[in-house]
Amino acid sequence: MRTRTPLLSPVFLVAVAAPSARAQTPPAAAWDSVAQILKAPASATGGYYRYGLPRRDVTLKVGDVTVSPALALGGWAGFSGASNDATVMGDLVLLASEVKPVLAELARQRLDVTAVHNHLAGEEPQLTYVHFHGRGGATELATRLDLVLARTATPRPVAAQTPAPPTIDTALVFGTLGHSGTARGNVAQVGFVLVPGAVTLHGRALVPAMAYGSPVNIQMVDGTRAVATGDFAVEGAKVSGMLAALAAHGIAATAVHTHLIGESPHLYYMHFWADGPLAEVLAGLRAALDAAR
């Protein structure tokens, strides 16, 4: 059963909370055309519109685990601002054969590449995650991004999925991590913002959930075993303590890198892979969250 529990501390603002005064969600009507262009439904969350672009065409394995698309294959594009002056950013999940044509198309479409890197370690097939950013009219940005997506095998139109009843212990997940989230089938997802204060890029304040949210995704493998991945977005002073907390609980950091270029303050994104009994995995993740305070 799903329960709502208190926030860990004032710095832990859930990434899907109601938008603040500096991150108002745009009117829905302004983004209908974006959804039509991208062939993906929108969800209003955390002060922006998110268009999910999951790679359900990829069967991903990490060791003996078949990874759910909701765990680590969730490409996406987020739009914020006004329809005539929007910001887009997101994350494309690419197979090796797609990287070169996608990067070339992003350059042609004048969309900035802010990172090209791994999120996982030892996955088959190997994936590359490309982060992008752009500003302009919303429909113009969507049209340019549509041409980029055409260089991939990302399934579109994105088919709506019937929500599956949770089979993961959400009371344990949300209670241990200190906040509720969402759960479908054997995957639970919880979002945090671990950076206090505003982050700006080129003089414009970023929407926290869109630019530096910290997603934590947990998948049940069987009745007792769970795997988890995601990334913690934090300032540099928090990195070593969080890495130590993860290592102390047997959780591997699979990458520490940047997702943005020119943001202030500068942020680091710490990806991880956990594998073990659900309670132990959650305890390690909670220790890392505590270290961010």
Q: Please, which residues have CB within 8 angstroms of residue 45's CB and are 6 or more apart in sequence?
A: 16, 25, 209
- Do the domain assignments include residue 253? yes
The predicted pLDDT at position 163 comes to 83
Q: What is the pTM of this model?
A: 0.90
The predicted pLDDT at position 21 comes to 34
Long-range contacts of residues 239-242, Cβ cutoff 8 Å, at least 24 apart: 239/268, 239/270, 241/291, 241/292, 242/270, 242/288, 242/291, 242/292
Distances, alpha carbon 251 to alpha carbons 117, 131, 282, 285, in Å: 20, 25, 10, 8
Co-location of 88 and 44 in the same domain: yes
Containing domain of residue 126, as a range?
21-149
Extract the residue ranges of the chain whose pLDDT is less than 70: 1-30
| Structure tokens that stand for 21 in this block | 């005064």
Co-location of 124 and 180 in the same domain: no
- Do the domain assignments include residue 100? yes
Co-location of 143 and 191 in the same domain: no
Q: Could you report the per-residue pLDDT of 263-279, keeping only the tens digit for each?
A: 999 999 999 999 999 99
Q: Could you report the per-residue pLDDT of 112-145, keeping only the tens digit for each?
A: 999 999 999 999 999 999 999 999 999 999 999 9
The predicted pLDDT at position 27 comes to 55
| Structural domain total, the chain | 2
